[in-house]
Amino acid sequence: MNTQPLEYAGFWTRTGAALIDGILLLLITLPLLISIYGWEYLETEDLVLGPADFLISWVLPAFATVLFWLYKKATPGKMAVAAQVVDAQTGATVTVGQAMLRYLGYFIAMLPLGLGIFWIGFDRRKQGWHDKIAGTVVVKRTNTRPEPVRFN
C-alpha cells in the first residue's frame, strides 16, 4: 500500500488532463462521424445530425467517462498526470450516482462562461462546481515531479 501523502490537483494539472482527454475523444469520434456523415459533418451548425451523432458525440463520451471514474478512478488524461477522482469525504472510489452527477455537473459549471471550471483555480480544495455538486475531489500524490536540481 502506498502511503505517500496526497494533494489536490490544481487547475493547470486538470487542464492538461482535459486536453489529453479531448484529443483522445476527437481521435476516436471524428473518424466515426466522418465515415457516417461525410466531411459535411465538419461544416454543419446543427447540434445533432442524427441518432448516430447523438450516440457517438453525447452518449459514448458520457458512458466512457463514468466507467473510467468507477473502474480506474481517472480518465486517460487524469491517468497521464497521475490524478484520481475520489469521494471528497472518504477518498474512496466514487459511486455511480456521484459519477453521473459529476458528469452532468460539467454542463452546469460551463454555463456561466466556464466560471464553474475556473473556480478550481481559487477553491481551497481545488473543486470545480461539478466536484462540489457530486461531492468529489481530484487528488494526486505529492512530490510526483522529477528529482529536484542539486549542486555540490
* pLDDT > 90: percent of the chain: 80
| Chain centroid, CA 89 distance in Å | 20
Note the pLDDT of residue 45. 87
User: What is the predicted pLDDT for the residue at 1?
Assistant: 43
Question: What is the value of pTM for the model shown?
Answer: 0.85
Percent of the chain with pLDDT over 70: 91
- At 56, which amino acid appears? I
Strand (E) positions, 16-98?
Answer: 83-87
Residue (of 134, 72, 131) closest to 98 by Cα position:
134
- Looking at the predicted structure, is the pLDDT value of residue 105 above 70? yes
The edge-to-edge listing of strands for the beta sheet with 6-8 is 6-8, 136-141, 83-87
Q: Is 84 exposed, middle or buried (0-12, 13-18, 19+ CB in 10 A)?
A: buried
Express each pLDDT in 35-69 by its tens digit.
999 998 888 888 888 999 999 999 999 999 999 99
